[in-house]
Every structure is written in C-alpha cells, then in structure tokens.
Amino acid sequence: MKLSLSTLILALGAGAGVPALAQTCPPTTITPYVNVNGKWLQKDSVTLKTGQSAILGPRPASGGSWSWSGCGTTGTSREQTIQPAAACTATATYTNDCGAKSQQLFTIKVGTWASVKFGGGGYVTGLIFHPTTANLLYARTDIGGAYRWNQASSSWMPLTDGLGFGGAEGSYHGIESIAVDPNNDKLVYMAAGMYNSDKADARLYISSDRGNHWSYVNLPFSTGGNNGGRAIGERMMVDPNKPSRLFYGSRTAGLWKSTNSGRTWAQVTSLSTAKMTQEQINAVGGSAMGVELVVYDTSTKGAGTATQTIYTAIAPDYANVAGLSANLYKSTNGGASWTAVSTPVSGYHIPHMVRAADGMFYVVFTKDAGPGAGGPGRLYKFDGANWTLLKSVDPTEWTNPGLGGLSVSGKGATTRIALGVSNTWGNFSGQQIVQLSDDAGLNWREIEAMTPGETASGWVDDVEIDPSNRDHILHVHGGGVIETRDASSATPTWHGTIEGIEETATLAIVTPPAGAPYKFINSAGDVGTWVHTDLAKTPTLSPGLGWSNGNAADMAWSDPLYIAAGGVVNSSGAGTGYWSGDGGKTWASFATLAPGAATNTSSESSIAVTARNQAVWAPANSVPSYTTNNGASWVATDLPALPGVGWNRGYRLVTDRKNPNKVYAYDSGGAWWASAGKVYVSNDGGHSFALSQGSVSAGLAANGWWVTSMAVNPKVEGDLWLADGNALYHSVDSGASWSKLSTFASVCGSNPWPDLQGATVVALGKRKAGATYAAAVYVVGTVNGVWGVYRSDDGGATWARHNDDDHQFGGIGVMAADQSVYGRIYVSGTGRGLLYSN
C-alpha cells in the first residue's frame, strides 16, 4: 500500500502546540472549555485562586475517546476536575472514530494577586498623553514603576509588575522618562533606573502593546528616576516625522540619539562630548540634571524625513562641565549642529518647554530643580526670535514659590495655558497652585486653591491639559494625581484620581492571630503606621503622626488588641514610640523611648511584644531594651553592641507565639563583608539572651538587614525559620541547632555580592487543609536560578512557586502570611505598596 504525503502529515487541533502521531484519517478539531465557579468558558487558559478547582471539558462532547496528562488529570473521562497547587499544563488527547489523534493544551495558573488599598502614597513624576488617541495616558513614578489609565474602569493599571522587573531589578521601578509614538499609539518607550551615576546602568524598555509586555535594551548612560529634578522633561522624545529616531537628554552624559527605534544609541557629540565623572556628580549633590528636555519644532507627523528644527535645554551643572555658554540650544539640521539660544534668564533650570499648535513656544524657567521647585520662576513665550514675559513668581519673607508644570491647548490669542506653581503649601485665599490663562498668558486666574473638592499643593511639577478635552486638566503631586474636568468653570472641582496607583513603601508588616479584628499592621515610609481592617478600603486606624515613617510594630499574640510600634516623625527627625490597647482605634505615645530610639531612626529596627504592656525594642544600631510597664521605663538587654559596618544595621526580634517567655534575636552581620550572622535566645521574656552556638556552627552568612529575615511557626514552640540572604535554615529546638535547606541558593556573577539572593524573606501562615506540617512556609528567594516566592506545605520537604513571572513587582522587601486564609501572603513590591495573594 502506498500512502500519500498528506496522510502522513502530523495533525493537531486548533491551539495545540505539542506533537501528534501520524494518522490515516482527518483529525478532529478540539474546542477547549473550562468551567470555573459553575460557568463554562471557551478558553484554553485560566488563573485559579490557591485551593480553587476547575473542570476541563473540551469538545466534541460525543464520539471517540479521550486521554489526559498533567495537572492531576487521569483516566478517559472528557471532563476532568483539577485543583492544582501550582501552575501546570494539562494535555487532552482526542482519538476520533477513525483513529486520528488531536491534542489540546490547557495552561493553568494558580493564585491571583491584588493591591491592598491605600491610595497613592507616593510621588507621580510625570503624565504623558498620546497626542491623538483619546484617554491614552501614562503615569511615571519615582520608585513604583509606570501605569496606564484604563478609561473603562476609571483606574490606573500597573505596567511594571512582570518580566523585566524581578528580584534583582527593583531599580528599574524608578522611571525617568516615557515617550509615545505619535504615529503608532501602541508603541511606547520607557527609560528606567533609579539613581544617576557615572556608570551605564539604565535600561530602555520598549513595548508594542501599550506597556502590556516589554523588551529592553541597556542604555549607555545612567538615569535618575528617584533623583532630584525627577519631574523635569520629558527627556526622551520620538521624532513625529521619522519615528525610528529618538533623542534623549541624559543627566550625566549629554544628548543622545537613536536611529533604530531605541535599539542602539550614540552621543550627539555635535552638542558636547562631556560625560560627568562621579566626583562631578557628587559635587552637585549627587543629582545631576544634565540635558533636561528635547522639543521638536514641527506641526506634522509621519513625513518620512527627520524633523530638522530641535530644541534642547541644558541645566547649569552640565553647562558648566561641558563648557556650554547657554541653557537652551537649537539645531536646524536634525541635530547635526547646534547653536546657543539667547534666553532672558540664565543659570536657571528649564523644566518644561511646550509648543502650541501655531508654533509658539512656552518656556518655564525656575531657580531650583525640584521636587517642589523653588523660585524665582518665570514663564515666557518664544516665537523663535523674541521672548515675552507672561508670568513671574518670586520669594517673599516666608515663601519661596517656583514654577513647575506647564501645558498648552489651542493657538493664537485664545491659547489656553495651565501653569503649576510649585513649593506653595496649603489652601487659602490668594494661594497659587494651578494658574490658568485663556488668552495666551495676558491674564491669569487661580483654578485650584479655594475651590470645591480636593487640593494638592507643593509638588505641582507636571501639569497636563488633556489633548482631547481642554477642560480636563491634571497635575502630579507627592501623593499621586489630581484632576478637574471643568476647568472652564468659575469654580472648578478637583479630586484625586489615584485608583489603582499604590506607591507606599512598606518597611515592616506583621499579621495577628486568627480572629483578630484586623488583617495586619503596616509600618511604611512617609505615611507612618497603619492598622488595616479591610483590604479593599483605605485604612483609617493610625497614630496620626502625619509625615512619618513607621519602622516596626508587633502585637501581643494572646491579646492582639495591644500593639506597640516605633518610627520617626520626618519633619523633625525625632524618633517616636507609641502603643494602642484597642486594636489601633486609639493611640498614645510611650512615656519614654528605648535607648537609641530617639536618634537611631532608620528602618533597621524591630519590636517584639511578649504580653500587654511588655515589649523588647531594638532601634537601629542599638542594643535592644525591654519594658514591663508599657514604656514608662526601659532596661537594656545584655545583647552585644553592634559594630559599625558603614551603613545601618540592627537586631531582628521575634517572640515565640506559643511561649512568649522565649524571644529570639538575629544579628545578620550587617553587610556581606562583615562577621557571620548569629542568633541569640532569651527564656525570660527578652530580658537576657544567650548566644546560640548552633547558629555559629551553622555558618550563617554575613548580610545586610534588608536581605535577611527570621520567623516563628505560631503553632509550635521553638520552631524557627531563618533566611540569611543566601540560604534558608530551620530550627525545631528554639534555635539550639539549625538545618540548612538545600533548595535555595544565590546566583553569583562578577560582583562580590550575589546577583540574585538565595533566600531573603520567610513567613509562616495558615496551613493547607490536611497538611502534615502546622503552617504553610513562604520564602522569597531563588530556586534553580529562578527568583520568586516559594511555598512549602510539608515543612520544607517540597516547594512550589507561589507567584509567577507576571507578578514580580520589582522584587519583594517584606512579607507576612495570613493566619486565617491559606495561600494568602502580603508583600511589598518596590514602590508598589502592598499586594496580596489568594
């Protein structure tokens, strides 16, 4: 028998991606279906909550036979019920009546993630509208990545949680500039890197789907997404006429150009070849401003030839280093050569320069770089030859206003100008926050101060008029974004538009026992200490210290209404300690502070509560002390003083939840080059401690505070877990001896410290039903070279990844596990607030 080629070709069903067997009759197309929560969906992938089940039910529903593999499937039933503990792939093979086989893959992800609601909480540094696509708006932040506005849900969608923003990539949550392509609304560029230096350590992220997915290239210079002047710009711009060409104004290395859509970059040496050294960067306070912005002088797009007339602004620091004579330069040949532009103000920053539809430029000059740039400040219009002053602000005896954000709409005599007045604080008659002109700057009126709704003064460093709705004006501030949609009204109404933006920086988190009236205590930078009772609502329970850092907190396990906490009031720099006896409803300050707490106010501190009114407090760089009278007095423990290592360090304290007479203290060494880590054990409520020789024998690595952790199993006395930055250790005898688990290991490169830390955070929470070990164990670390959050339900014998590549959040600094809900952990992403898993 001779077979034709077509009868030998491998046949697969739609959506398949795995080989099938040769067959002699046509295969049957499989249609994938998944049933979740009682509803059938035609899809081949689904994300399940931890512990949730689903039914896989591909079709055809009759005839032929089925076989299965993966995700716990078995047997020949068409419908398969699965309840996977981790992400998996199931393969359904269908054999039709004539023997032809076809296959269908089902991709199953496990666990969902959501933000804990706080609302803003951090500085949004820039807003970038697409010029022609309505409601397409991006926001960049200094430490929390980037967002895109979702008009359908009236909320912001995070864009920097997934691949490219993992455990060793938190620095790239500092976004310095975003550029859109006026010709292609799906294309967006994002320059990332938190701090400037003389190294080439920044990245350019490129997306062809509005930021849903990113690729990146390394930039040949640094960026400073969290440096001073971070609202200046935009530094990066796409040429609207030849969009493969981009210019970038760097902080330390001059002006740069790409001719291949950002893939490679070359310095524009026709302007300057200067690159600042680290010494020169340090000499200007560590935050270089450099080349501040790029503006194209064109009203066209998509012409195919590069825009010829370009302006770029030069900060005083780079002008001095590069020997440039002006703060503004112009090219009329696409950047091949540059000439200085005489400006009416010299030696100032030019944070924003915008072009109106008629070709008129509007230019802000301000003395300081910001955030909240101080003055004097000036706004001019510029027709290419002549300058006209439109607005001035000057220091007074008690105030120092500057000019910040700038946006224009329209043209000619009716040009609308929205101007941010920065470094003014408060809301009172005569205050200036956002000034509006509807006659090209001849007359001005205040449209935010003393109007209905909210106000946000101070850091008004970027203002934008919606290009599709001139009555929609937004501006950034230190806590997010605020907007009005009736700017033409005599009394516009402003309100925060921060839904979805979560930028608080949590420094410590602790969860109470099951049954407590709250979910956790959040100790955060800038916003202080908060007790969260509802994950979907902004918390309301706080000591009310205003601009402050919460550094540490704990509760009495047998009486979780009692909470003790410590931190610092940022306005004065004074350390503070406080307590609540009713679960955070009311608070009082400790009568006295533990020795060291008043001045050693950095976040490397810890508090362990043993009972109501009794606690052990370890301020940063200090010997811990204990109180037995709710802070009326403190007594030093006998723990050793911590030698200096060049940066802050401290003891980590945890109370044994089954026997609060036992308190454990962990000294991580303070730095990777310092002495080995050690554990100390107290059997008298934290009054006196003894060194665990077992911890010495275990050879704990020396590491910094921020990459180490210790946690107790709340269900078993003496059951301790420790992450020393490189590995995970377990003790079942109150720290007398330690076992090293081989699962976690650091990934090392050319540096003396690891590129990826092996194990940095450990937390224990409610155990899985039927599990043999009393708690679920969660570890932030690296397994087989893959960073993530890993979970064990059997005391560390086996591990499954708890997060996935889409949920990395720029790394995870702190973590706590819920004692009431299995599979739920609370984590801090880099500048991403708090997030939780289900």
**At a CB cut-off of 8 Å and minimum separation 6, what does 124 contact?**
139, 140, 141, 476, 477, 480, 481, 501, 503
Burial class (CB in 10 A: 0-12, 13-18, 19+), 544: exposed
Beta-bridge partner residues of 248:
236, 256
Question: Which pLDDT belongs to residue 38?
Answer: 87
Question: Which pLDDT belongs to residue 432?
Answer: 98
Residue 525 to residue 528: CA distance in whole angstroms: 6
| Cβ-based neighbour number of residue 266 at 10 Å | 10
Instruction: Enter the tokens of residue 89.
Output: 């792939």
pTM here is: 0.89
Per-residue pLDDT tens over the stretch 420-445: 999 999 999 999 999 999 999 999 99
Which parts of the chain sit beneath pLDDT 70? 1-24, 50
What is the DSSP code (8-state) at residue 453? B
Question: Which pLDDT belongs to residue 18?
Answer: 41
| Cβ-based neighbour number of residue 797 at 10 Å | 11
Instruction: Enter the tokens of residue 28.
Output: 């049957």
Question: Which pLDDT belongs to residue 16?
Answer: 39
| Cβ-based neighbour number of residue 445 at 10 Å | 10
Asked whether the beta carbons of 624 and 604 are under 8 A apart, the reply is no
Residue type at 717 in one-letter notation? E
Residue 416 to residue 429: CA distance in whole angstroms: 23
SS3 percent helix, strand, coil of the chain, rounded to 5, is: 5, 40, 55
Per-residue pLDDT tens over the stretch 762-807: 999 999 999 999 999 999 999 999 999 999 999 999 999 999 898 9
Instruction: Enter the tokens of residue 681.
Output: 């054990």
Q: Where would I find the beta strands (DSSP E) of 16-123? A: 34-36, 39-41, 45-48, 54-56, 65-69, 80-82, 88-95, 101-110, 113-115
Q: Where are the alpha helices (DSSP H) in 228-315?
A: 278-283
